[in-house]
Amino acid sequence: MGMKSIFSIAAAALAAAMLVSCGGQDLRVTVANDSQLDRTDETIELDFGNIIASHPEITADNVVVTDAAGVQIPSQVYTEDYGMVKLIFQATVPAGETAEYTVKACEREAYDTLVFSRYVPERLDDYAYENNRIAGRVYGPALEDPRTLGPDIWLKRVESLVVDKRYELNDYHHDHGDGMDCYKVANTLGGGALAPYSGDRIVLGDNYSEWNRLCNGPVRTKVLFKYEPFDVDGHLVTLKREFAIDANTNFIKISNWFMTPGDSLDVVLGAVLHDVIARTDGDHYIAFTEKASDSADPEADGDISVGLVVDAEEPGVEAGTMDGHAVLKYTVTPGKRADVWIGSGWSKGGIESPEVWAEMVADFAYAQANPLKVTVE
């Protein structure tokens, strides 16, 4: 028997095994892109409780998502902090078109994990996170200085996961071939955070006091942080916020819940300014590029780009500069979720120019203002 016949028999056996392991009625998911922008690897969220209520044969262990060609794509089931169970996957839909996906019970393939986050007790309670494009960390209770809501930006030039490797080496301020940390936070809002302000002073908040990781890949890693109360003009403000890091993006979604007396709270989504070489202020977004700020040789270490995006539904958002930060100023309602996005990029990691970065941030803000429309049949 020839090799071709052997491979044909093996392929037929695999196909038969897959048919046996798949069962029940498929769900068809239509994703429509009514915008003027091609959407690539954008995360789709489905209520998994609704799916299993009508299709009890589907479970978290056997749920599979396939594209229009029948090819299985990475998917993930996880439980939100408030109890809702979600099924997520990523869709690619050209402008003005639709894409079809199928959800069914079948044998799940092994997916590459493109996102990761963890608590880092060996480094003063850091909480570090990454996907295949970006990385960063927020500071924990054991670190005496800085004390801030602001995150650090870690730069990457590879798509592989690097957080564990860098902490193991304990030398992440030098580039060992995968990128480095050459970004300075100090007592600022660093790479971007939503924080209260009073007059012309930003209230930096504090380092997180508690953390709870809700999921860890392959499509999304998500962590909930809680904070001790901090003072804003004589009133105590408490905060909890969620970081959601998805695969294949330069942006992190941060959901914020502020609690304080009164009906409103003045806030800024701000990022500290260093040696800025370009800046663009747009509708509900700011994009800027600057020289490496925590570096003995900024020219050699390249340019760092930062993006800030506020939910398009928030009224009265004004771009400006305050307390050494690029800021988007507006007002939030205590107890109500406020969503923002922070982004980063590196001239050695795929961001070719400040102009390219400004366009990326503008496109991302446009995409958030024009969400994909999802129909499940």
CATH number of 116-373: 2.70.98
Q: What is the CATH number of domain 3-110?
A: 2.60.40.1180
Residues 6+ apart with CB under 8 A from 265: 196, 232, 237, 258, 331, 332, 333, 334
Give the residue among 328, 5, 295, 50 at the shortest CA–CA distance from 153: 295
Taking the domains of the chain in order of start, what are their residue ranges? 3-110, 116-373
| Host H or E run for residue 227 | strand 220-232
Q: How confident is the prediction along the chain (377 residues), in pLDDT tens digits per residue?
A: 443 333 333 333 333 334 334 767 899 999 999 999 999 999 999 999 999 999 999 999 999 999 999 999 999 999 999 999 999 999 999 999 999 999 999 999 999 999 999 999 999 999 999 999 999 999 999 999 999 999 999 999 999 999 999 999 999 999 999 999 999 999 999 999 999 999 999 999 999 999 999 999 999 999 999 999 999 999 999 999 999 999 999 999 999 999 999 999 999 999 999 999 999 999 999 999 999 999 999 999 999 999 999 999 999 999 999 999 999 999 999 999 999 999 999 999 999 999 999 999 999 999 999 999 999 99
d(CA 182, CA 129) in angstroms, rounded, equals 17
How far CA 65 is from CA of 41, 55, 105, in Å, comes to 14, 14, 9
pTM over 0.75: yes
